Amino acid sequence: MGKLYSQYGSKSLKAIEHFVLIIIAIATIVAIGQEIAHIIKMGEVALADLLLLFIYLEVLAMVGNYAESGKLPVRMPLYIAIVALARYLILDMKGMEDWRILAISVSTLVLASTVIVIRWGQLKLPYPRKEDDH
Per-residue pLDDT tens over the stretch 58-98 = 999 999 998 888 887 788 999 999 999 998 998 888 889 99
Amino acid letter for position 48: A
Query: Cα(61)–Cα(77) distance, rounded to whole angstroms?
Result: 11
Q: Which of 61, 81, 80 is nearest to 69 (CA)?
A: 61
| Residue 52 buriedness (CB in 10 A; 0-12 / 13-18 / 19+) | buried
pLDDT tier at 26, thresholds 50, 70, 90: very high
Backbone angles phi, psi at 15, to 5 degrees: -65, -45
Q: How far is CA 77 from CA 23, 32, 42, in A?
A: 18, 18, 29
Cβ proximity of 27 and 17 under 8 Å: no
Quote the pLDDT of residue 5.
65
DSSP 73: -
